[in-house]
Chain A
Amino acid sequence: MTATPTAPAGTTDQGRVITYSEAVREALAEAMSADERVFVLGEDIGVYGGAFGVTGDLYHRFGAERVRDTPISELGIVGAAVGAALAGMRPVVEIQFSDFTCQAMDQIVNQAAKIHFMLGGAAEVPMVLRAPLGSGTGAAAQHSQSLEAWFAHVPGLKVVMPATAEDAKGLLLSAIDDPNPVIVLEHKLLYRTSGPVPEGAGRVPLGKTAVRRRGRDVTIVATGVMVQRSLEAAERLAADGIDVSVIDPRTLSPLDDAPILEDVSRTGRALLVQEAPGHVGFTAEIASRIVESPAIYRLLAPIRRLSGLDVPIPYAPQLETAAVPQVDGIVDAARSLMKDS
């Protein structure tokens, strides 16, 4: 059920390997060291080190003013970040679970997303909101959602979902640089996974899709923890002689669809995988982009979406596992896509 670490932390022939949460922390530390306008705020991010341990020792390194513990007041926290951003700072908010962005939606959707546009470009809101999302921890319906499509639906917000340690660092650095509000959704099962993040690794640009693996038969497009699961599925499919691509959009808004359309045109088969419920989900947008492009003429089989069930995330482990795509399901879906064509 938990994502598999790609490698133990340390140094390997891939260079330095660190965990996803270390990578986020490194980005925050580098950004704060480089730019005194950058500060982080959120619940229990100080001495406690963050509910998922992400801010860790930053409080001891940068002090209580720049690693700022807040009361349990999400609307106030995000509003304060919007105001501070308008007034020349570069705040990075941590919302303890992405589910609690619900409390702060007015400031995110009605304020942060629209201010630059509404004011005719006279102001900028260079803020970042980081929040863990996803299921797999037994925390049940109010602590396990994947609400990325909500944010991606709002013009004025940029939305990223890093799937590797290197992207966790690089996309966050780019998000902090960006003059717009950026929502960074980190999957909580990824925090303890590790991957290569070369010493001094820098920015990963927003709005650039990554091709994780190139194959002949099926194009799998996956987000968040589903990228890892799709790569695992790809190994198993390869053993059966099915050769798949795995594509990770990384930035949901703005979406770089060209690599996806190009790959689907080559394979003729698209399998779109997300953890969130399928109904009106992000992968519906990908499917639309495919059918609205010439890639549609190259399809050998109907597009297949594999998503979470349209249910709130349940508590019991056997129910929780059944509610979202697992590696087995991805393998089966890819196989059936091959049979259908």
Chain B
Amino acid sequence: MSKLGDDATTATRTLRTMWQIRRFEEAVDDLFARGLMHGTMHLSIGQEASATGTCFALRDDDAITSTHRGHGHCIAKGADLERMMAELLAKETGYCRGRGGSMHIADVATGNLGANGIVAGGIPIAAGAGLAYQLQGLDRVVVSFFGDGAANEGAFHEAVNLAAIWKLPVIFLCENNKYGMSFSTEKSFAIENIADRAVGYGIPGVTVDGNDVEAVNEVVAAAVERARNGEGPTLVESVTYRWKGHSKSDKNLYRTKEEISEWRDRDPIIRFERSVVERGVLDQAAIDAVRAQATEDIRTAVRAANAAPDARPDDLLEAVFAPATA
């Protein structure tokens, strides 16, 4: 099986996606700090390889469910940057017409069944989507992204068990970034690896370095193949780290500066860049160009979103129920 960094085209695409995620979130962080963005934000800076490696193992017609920390999943699955940014800027042209915001972006057309404001809320939904594909005789698979914290919700246990007994085509992708808000995995689990929970459901569990985009991609690709062949779900634990606070109210009292800077040194994007340069797949000029392109992609998205009309309150009441179709 070929790796994401083996050829220049795939390496460029992988790198551009990771940089788009990074730049998108930096832009959001900046807009928020300047009071130009509303609500709260959960940034995934530092976790780009996990989202990208996973989504790049999927076909366009495969699906994902995402989380409150979902910008990366959304971008890696192919969402439109301008519509995402417009949503965060409360615009009529946003993915949810300003009704959902950061935590509720979905793009059913690209197989994104939705971010979620409820921890673990998407996990049973992923099992259900997998059930639908199985019933429809399709060979599509579903990836359910969730955090380490979510693995302690009842919803996780119930959904994984259903998927296991029905052999549903689902990949449970746990992004273990060491903390659920302020609570560390050392305190919230009495086991070493979250993937070990798979044993309790009779499915395979794999722990992978979530800051290695190629390793994530390989592990997920194998799980996808299993799922497509009707062999059932896999629990993948992708070990990574969020650089920023949990959300806007986080004072980082529960972790040390040293720990954060140690993980910053393991930057998943720089790591992939070094690797492809060493392997002679891309040269430094090509890498600089990808980064510049991604920066420009986000600038364009912010500019266009800013120019779009504001979301309108006039038809809120009509928005609650889907219209009856004859």
Please list the residues of chain A having a beta carbon within 8 angstroms of any beta carbon in chain B: 43-44, 46-49, 51-53, 69-76, 99-100, 102-103, 137-143, 309-312, 314-319, 321-323
Q: Which of B207-215, B260-268, B315-323 contacts A (4 or more CB under 8 A)?
A: B315-323
Report which of B154, B187, B251, B310 forms a contact with A318, defined as CB distance below 8 A: B310
Contact A103 B153 (CB under 8 A): yes
Contact B39 A315 (CB under 8 A): yes
User: A72 and B150 in contact (CB under 8 A), knowing A46-B182, A48-B254, A316-B98?
Assistant: yes
Interface of B (DSSP majority class): loop
Quote the shortest CB–CB distance from A318 to chain B (angstroms). Answer: 6
Contact A315 B118 (CB under 8 A): no
Which chain B residues border A70 with CB–CB below 8 Å? 183
Contact B117 A143 (CB under 8 A): yes
Which chain B residues border A53 with CB–CB below 8 Å? 249
Report which of A72, A310, A318 forms a contact with B119, defined as CB distance below 8 A: A72
Nearest CB in chain B to that of A59: its residue: B253
Contact B103 A73 (CB under 8 A): no
Q: Is B311 an interface residue (CB 8 A)?
A: yes
Which chain B residues border A69 with CB–CB below 8 Å? 182-183, 187
Quote the shortest CB–CB distance from B116 to chain A (angstroms). Answer: 8
Interface of A (DSSP majority class): loop
Contact A316 B99 (CB under 8 A): yes
Which chain A residues border B317 with CB–CB below 8 Å? 309-311
Q: Is B301 an interface residue (CB 8 A)?
A: no
Nearest CB in chain A to that of B120: its residue: A72
Q: How far is the CA of A137 from the CA of B188 in the complex (A)?
A: 29
Which chain A residues border B40 with CB–CB below 8 Å? 137-139
Report which of A51, A76, A138 forms a contact with B101, defined as CB distance below 8 A: A138
Q: How far is the CA of A88 from the CA of B118 in the complex (A)?
A: 32
Contact A315 B150 (CB under 8 A): no
Contact B38 A138 (CB under 8 A): yes
The 7 closest A-B pairs by CB, nearest first: A315-B101, A138-B39, A316-B98, A316-B90, A142-B117, A322-B313, A48-B182
Q: Is B143 an interface residue (CB 8 A)?
A: no
**Can you list 25 A-B contacts (CB < 8 A)?**
A44-B181, A44-B182, A48-B181, A72-B180, A73-B152, A73-B154, A103-B153, A137-B40, A140-B99, A140-B101, A141-B99, A142-B103, A142-B117, A142-B118, A142-B121, A143-B117, A312-B320, A314-B99, A314-B311, A315-B87, A315-B100, A315-B104, A316-B38, A316-B98, A316-B99
